[in-house]
Amino acid sequence: MQLAHQPSAAWRDVALRYLALTKPRIVVLASFCALIGMVLATDDALPWRLATFGVIGIALLAGAGFVFNSLVERSIDARMSRTRRRPLASGAVGARGALAFAGVLGGCGALLLYVEVNALTMWLTLATFVGYAVVYTLLLKPATPQNIVIGGASGAMPPVLGWAAVSGEVGAGALVLFLIVFVWTPPHFWSLALYRIEDYRRSGLPMLPITHGSRFTRLQILLYTVLLVATTMLPFLTGMSGGLYLLSALALGAVFVAYAWRLWRAYSDALARRTFGYSIFYLAALFGALLIDRFL
């Protein structure tokens, strides 16, 4: 009986390695943001069949982008303590297998979006894949300390994709959601870069704390966080949401600004780590408030 279980255990290990390449936690957050875009794009009941296929297709292409990113950066990941245990960096998954896996995920996602959702969503999602996997990973990330700012456009696309999936167009509301995630991205990633600065120094990537120093980076985090709070007022000001969202955005934003202020005034790695962790909670809670407010 023990021998009979060994093949299934081996296949499970292989499957988990390939799943890890897709960065599932980030895919879940991106899918949630896409779902918010879908909900806010319609005044009627959400077409659940369309939404389901839309979320699955977007998630598949997002996962493909992360696999391709891991493939391109496997040598960089191998030099960083945070990432050297990733399947490609450690050699647990081969390059050819990862490339084939990314192709299958991307192909299935694109086909699903084209057949079951609409062509606009497919093309926008493919453009997002190219923007992240090629423009950001290959061109921007190794070339400029503003890589996170410019490359953040790809990461801000999920709510736009969700909006397009159910409405067939990119409305003004979709651009508001895009702007929120776009402005959120720099303080989120720079908080990580601060307490992982030695990792990034070994990687050779020109991250802002390395090229401009810790204090300048911390000031940028504070400024972007203040700008983020102002940006999160747009859904209320444009009539996309009501008072519940407004109060939630102000409360969540006040905590984020407090973290950024403390980070600027009295830095510690532990505080940077907590700021990074809060930034993830912040975005999920903010979009959750949008979702709840929509149904009240």
CA dihedral 32, 269, 153, 142 (to 10 degrees): -130
Separation between Cα atoms, residue 98 and residue 119, nearest integer Å:
27
Which architecture, in CATH terms, is 14-153?
Orthogonal Bundle (1.10)
Q: Tell me, what's the pLDDT at 220?
A: 95
Q: Where are the alpha helices (DSSP H) in the chain?
A: 2-21, 24-41, 48-72, 74-77, 87-90, 95-112, 119-130, 147-155, 158-167, 172-195, 197-203, 208-211, 214-231, 234-237, 243-265, 269-295
In tens digits, what is the pLDDT along the chain, a chain of 296 residues?
A: 445 555 666 788 888 888 888 999 889 989 988 998 999 888 778 888 999 999 999 999 999 999 988 888 788 778 877 778 888 888 888 889 989 999 999 999 999 999 999 999 999 999 998 888 788 777 777 777 877 777 778 888 999 999 999 999 998 999 999 999 999 999 999 999 999 888 878 877 788 899 999 999 999 999 999 999 999 999 999 999 999 999 999 999 999 999 999 999 999 999 999 999 999 999 999 999 998 998 87
| Residue-level pLDDT at 29 | 87
pLDDT at 277: 95
Q: What is the pLDDT of residue 9?
A: 67
Predicted TM-score (pTM) of this structure: 0.86
Q: What is the 3-state secondary structure (H, E, C) of 39-69?
A: HHHCCCCCCHHHHHHHHHHHHHHHHHHHHHH
pLDDT of residue 1: 43
pLDDT tens readout for residues 178-234: 999 999 999 999 999 999 888 878 877 788 899 999 999 999 999 999 999 999 999
Query: Whole-angstrom distance between the N-terminal and C-terminal Cα of the chain?
Result: 55
So what's the pLDDT on residue 54? 95
